[in-house]
Structure 1
């Protein structure tokens, strides 16, 4: 089998895989990395929204459990992965 025959048979498959990688796999990996970075940057005092649509302020972070203040003295505990987005980062205070 020479090179020209090889490219005729397997070239389209290679091109389809390359398109698939750049249009689907690579952007998904980028979104996953951004989400991991967002979850690791959570701090007490951040205003967040959970994936279930609950708004709250982070009161405490212990390992993978986050305690949220959702208003009227109501506190709930969620896992770190339940946080969907950070709405407002805590203001840095100078000590």
Structure 2
């Protein structure tokens, strides 16, 4: 009987860290999926007139929305075409009003 108890303890010592690792991986994947979904929703809601920040740090106002890109006005008579994946954030109206 003592041998069986020893075997069970050994199994638990081995399985404990593995179980913790599996749970951590699950939560990492879950949080990544939520972030991807939130980002995709943000990109689909961008419309003409929204102020955006690109991944390169360029601030501008969306002047045209295309299928895979945005035309962003960054200064008077200066417009650039940015891939949708290159937009890192939309500046919310509350942030605009506080400045």
Same fold at TM > 0.5: yes
Q: Which runs of 5+ in 2 are unaligned?
A: 1-7, 94-99
Q: Deviations over 1:32-65 (max 9, x none)?
A: 1111110111101101110100011001011012
Give the aligned partner of residue 18 of structure 2.
13
Q: Which residue pairs with 1:88 in the alignment?
A: 92
Partner of 1:67: 71
SS in 1 for 2:39: helix
4+ residue runs over 6 A deviation: none
Q: Distance in 1 between matches of 2:70 and 2:17?
A: 49
How large is the Cα RMSD of the aligned pairs?
2.2
Alignment length (residue pairs): 86
Q: Which of the two has greater helix per residue?
A: 2
Larger RCO, structure (CA 8 Å, separation 6 or more): 1
User: What does residue 96 of structure 2 align with?
Assistant: none
2-structure distance, mates of 1:45, 1:88: 12
TM-score (norm 1): 0.76
Please identify, of 31-40 and 80-89, the stretch whose mean Cα deviation from structure 2 is larger.
80-89
User: Where does residue 5 of structure 2 map in the other structure?
Assistant: none
